[in-house]
């Protein structure tokens, strides 16, 4: 029986790929459990990136070559990335396409799936073959994290976006030495024109919110002062997020929720977060939930593993100081 081919998207906001982010390492780990691993990328991977891909079992890297008439700022437009995915699937005859569950990844994967006539599952938490081999079984949480579901994708190929922190990234037992192969991509002129494109730099030392293993979020209870929230996050090496209301007040720019960023960290800390359904839908897949709120009746406590009833302005600085003291002794 021919081993299935699993294609993984190595995404990067830049033209040169200089790192392999944690969500992609997780995808490579999942892909190895499903079959042969190929990688597709828009940018040119560095020597270090190729070594990392080899350490995680990639057999080949397909680097897209786009028409010279296409301006560089249009390379990351959804229609273009979708065309790259379609070309890579057809080149490799892939049985499964895995992409990170970023906004750009999900959008391009959905368009690619439509063009390929493939089934698509977004924000999966697990991917495996059925006991009899096919079809593909995909696990995910729905209805604000209250139901765990398993879907089967009967099409070939199957397209799946996988949430960050769904599995532990594990290198292969035996590393490979993937070669870079050019992937010619024919792209029709996009129906939109990119006027400007800016890659926002995240705060130094903080991981991206959707990828972080630890997240500290602030809500209305902060009163607009995110200083204690950010200080605790920096002590933990965590990402910072907010509730939708806090973001709409202009207190912080990235919010967690059903219409915002969906996170599934190993540890989530909510400070001054009441626990509205919209917010819970974006974080309820967290493995451990810690809540700090001065209202003992706050709904967030219903789903918390650890609850602290108190003033976050006092609790968070003490926690940050204790964490730094512990690190200094280690």
The burial class, CB within 10 Å (0-12 / 13-18 / 19+), for 246 is: buried
Whether 178 has a binding-site annotation, put simply, is: no
Q: Known binder of ligand: residue 277?
A: yes
3, 119, 129, 141 from 151: Cα distances, Å: 22, 10, 11, 11
Does the annotation list 220 as a binding residue? Answer: yes
Residue among 302, 310, 223, 236 at smallest CA distance from 269: 236
Residue 278 is assigned to a ligand binding site: yes
What is the three-state SS of 192-261? CCCCCCCCCCCCCCCCCHHHCCEEEEECHHHCCCCHHHHHHHHHHCCEEEECHHHHHCCCCCCEECCCCE
Q: Is 126 annotated as a binding residue?
A: no
Flag whether 67 is marked binding. no
Is residue 243 a known part of a binding site? yes
**126-129, strands of its sheet edge to edge:** 126-129, 136-142, 147-153
CA angle 305, 100, 198 (to 5 degrees): 105
Confirm or deny that 144 is annotated as ligand binding.
no
Is 36 labelled a binding residue?
Answer: no
Q: Does the annotation flag 276 for ligand binding?
A: yes
62 annotated to a ligand binding site: no
Q: CA 170: distance to chain centroid?
A: 17
Residues placed in the known binding site for FAD: 220, 243-244, 272-279, 293
Q: Give binding residues as ranges.
A: 220, 243-244, 272-279, 293
């Amino acid at each position: 029986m021919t081993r299935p081919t699993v294609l993984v998207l190595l995404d990067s906001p830049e033209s040169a790929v200089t790192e392999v982010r944690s969500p992609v390492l997780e995808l490579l780990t999942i892909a190895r459990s499903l079959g042969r691993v190929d990688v597709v990328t828009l940018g040119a991977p560095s020597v270090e990136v190729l070594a990392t891909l080899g350490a995680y079992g990639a057999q080949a890297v397909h680097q897209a070559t786009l028409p010279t008439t296409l301006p560089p700022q249009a390379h990351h437009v959804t229609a273009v990335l979708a065309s790259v995915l379609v070309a890579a699937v057809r080149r490799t005859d892939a049985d499964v396409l895995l992409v990170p569950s970023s906004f750009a990844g999900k959008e391009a994967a959905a368009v690619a799936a439509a063009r390929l006539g493939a089934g698509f599952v977004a924000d999966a938490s697990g991917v495996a073959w059925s006991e009899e081999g096919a079809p593909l079984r995909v696990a995910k949480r729905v209805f604000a994290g209250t139901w765990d579901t398993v879907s089967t994708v009967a099409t070939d190929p199957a397209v799946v976006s996988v949430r960050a922190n769904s599995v532990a990234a594990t290198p292969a037992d035996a590393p490979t030495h993937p070669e870079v192969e050019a992937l010619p991509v024919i792209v029709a002129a996009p129906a939109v024109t990119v006027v400007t494109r800016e890659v926002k730099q995240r705060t130094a030392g903080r991981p991206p919110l959707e990828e972080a293993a630890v997240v500290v979020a602030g809500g209305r209870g902060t009163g607009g002062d995110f200083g204690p929230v950010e200080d605790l996050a920096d002590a933990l090496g965590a990402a910072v997020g907010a509730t939708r209301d806090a973001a709409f007040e202009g207190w912080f720019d990235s919010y967690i929720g059903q219409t915002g960023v969906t996170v599934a960290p190993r540890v989530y800390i909510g400070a001054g977060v009441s626990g509205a359904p919209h917010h819970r839908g974006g974080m309820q897949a967290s493995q451990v939930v810690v809540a700090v709120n001065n209202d003992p009746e706050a709904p967030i406590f219903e789903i918390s593993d650890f609850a602290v009833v108190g003033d976050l302005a006092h609790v968070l600085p003490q926690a940050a100081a204790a964490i730094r003291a512990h690190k200094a002794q280690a």
